[in-house]
Amino acid sequence: MNKDSIQLNKECRLYEKALRKLPDKDHIKVSLAGISYITNGKVPHFRGIRKEVFKEIRPIPDRWKSLVTPKSE
């Protein structure tokens, strides 16, 4: 495994661990919000535990977003 693969694996595990704190219906909402955040930069407006979990995982989508966003030349 290369360095990037190890980092991605680690981040996916942390992301999953944080999401497991949520009930199923909230798990789906926060997961989809993470994808939306990565693809279009839309920050979700959550309350309570959903807000706390998204805040906990946000550095991960921030990094992933930098990987999928083309750099301007």
Q: Where are the domains of the chain?
A: 3-66
pLDDT for the residue 71: 63
Contacting residues for 61 by C-beta, under 8 A, at least 6 apart: 34, 37, 38
Rounded CA-CA distance 20/25 in Å is 11
pLDDT digits (tens, 9 = 90+) for 15-35: 899 999 999 889 899 999 988
Q: What are the residue ranges in the chain where pLDDT is below 50?
A: none
pTM score: 0.77
Residue 24 CA: distances (Å) to CA of 2, 6, 31, 33: 33, 28, 10, 14
